[in-house]
Amino acid sequence: MSAPFKLDLTHRPRRLRRNATVRSLVEETILTPADFIAPLFVVDGKGAPEPISSMPGVLRYNITDLVKECRALAKLGVPAVALFPKLAVKFKDDAGSAALDADALILRTVKAVKKAVPGLVVMTDIALDPYTTHGHDGVLTADGLDVDNDATVEILVKMAVLHARAGVDFVAPSDMMDGRIGAIRRALDAAGFTQTAIMGYSAKFASAYYGPFREAVGSASAAGTHHLDKRTYQLNPANRREALAEVALDEAEGADILMVKPAGAYLDIIRDVREATRKPVAAYQVSGEYAQIHAAAKMGWLDLERTRHESLLAIKRAGADMILTYFAKEMAVVLKG
């Protein structure tokens, strides 16, 4: 019988993984309910919450039910919500005119939420895609082949002021037009809304992962397609330096929070942005990331709870200070214990 094999090791990293207590002591990244921003979809009317087939568990609420959901989120310690309206097709046109309607659904929603849950941070999307028949984030050029940058920014600026007047805490331009952060900042300040903050969708990629969201707000179906090509304004997924250049511009133009979107497939960009700026960094775990986890779990191929946790942990570890995620509420429930 030979002696048991023994390595003469100074370093045995497994000493720090021996049991749960030691592991918790050396844990570097911890998720809390305060990390999350819950995206919520709102529809007009008094109907029951509407399911979205590719986003199990996510519902479109009428204003009254959405306010209830906001109360529940605030109680669970989720600090913020990001609101997205879904309009009936009859309210859409090529110019996205309904975005400037003084009685727009989103404005009524913001007022109702701020009145009922004043402490909850409310963010709204600034982009034209829920309002346009073609589903693009802006108005088209005369030849109809591209989105007109400056004409779009002119509309977005007015939209941002309307949202600020309704009481929103953050406007979040998700359109990727050039110069929109600076134009919005100047317009907000000129209108007296110096305290209305801007979260820039600064590094937003032309991603296949937005598919389910387009079902949720009806931007693809209004356009009669499941695929909308936004590559003349959203970033090429191949480009890392270009993403950093976009982020630098938004920061210089006055964005208060810089966002990377999507999150899970762009962890390198989140890390790069975290190291390039001193501003808070947000990441958006988008609809397709959510759908993917649910689909695999439904097949019995992945464990939903563990995959959900790990996906969000990875985004925070990469450097995100806050995460927009459709898992916000259930994560807050789990983390609160």
Rule CB under 6 A: choose which of 109, 124, 152, 174 binds ligand PBG. Answer: 174
Consecutive H or E run containing 83: strand 80-85
Which of 86, 92, 204, 230 is an active site residue?
A: 204
DSSP-assigned states of every residue in 153-176: HHHHHHHHHHHHHHT-SEEEE-S-
Size of the site for ligand PBG (CB under 6 A): 11
Residue 114 contacts residue 170 (beta carbons within 8 Å): no
How many whole angstroms separate alpha carbon 124 and alpha carbon 284? 14
Shortest Cβ contact with ligand PBG: which residue?
213
How many whole angstroms separate alpha carbon 321 and alpha carbon 270? 10
Nearer to ligand PBG, 214 or 294 (CB): 214
Rule CB under 6 A: choose which of 43, 183, 203, 286 binds ligand PBG. Answer: 286
Place of tokens 């296949």: 208
Residue 169 contacts residue 120 (beta carbons within 8 Å): no
Rule CB under 6 A: choose which of 65, 129, 250, 253 binds ligand PBG. Answer: 129
Nearer to ligand PBG, 59 or 116 (CB): 59
Rule CB under 6 A: choose which of 35, 65, 69, 137 binds ligand PBG. Answer: 137
- Does residue 262 have a cis bond before it (omega within 30 degrees)? yes
Nearer to ligand PBG, 190 or 208 (CB): 208
Q: 261 an active-site residue? A: yes
Which of 86, 230, 261, 316 is an active site residue?
A: 261
Q: 329 an active-site residue? A: no
We find the least distance from the C-beta atom of residue 214 to ligand PBG, in angstroms, to be: 6
Q: Does residue 196 belong to the site contacting ligand PBG (CB under 6 A)? A: no
Structure tokens at 256: 């208060």
How many whole angstroms separate alpha carbon 116 and alpha carbon 118? 6
Residues of this chain that interact with ligand PBG (CB under 6 A) are 125, 127, 129, 137, 174, 210, 213-214, 230, 286-287
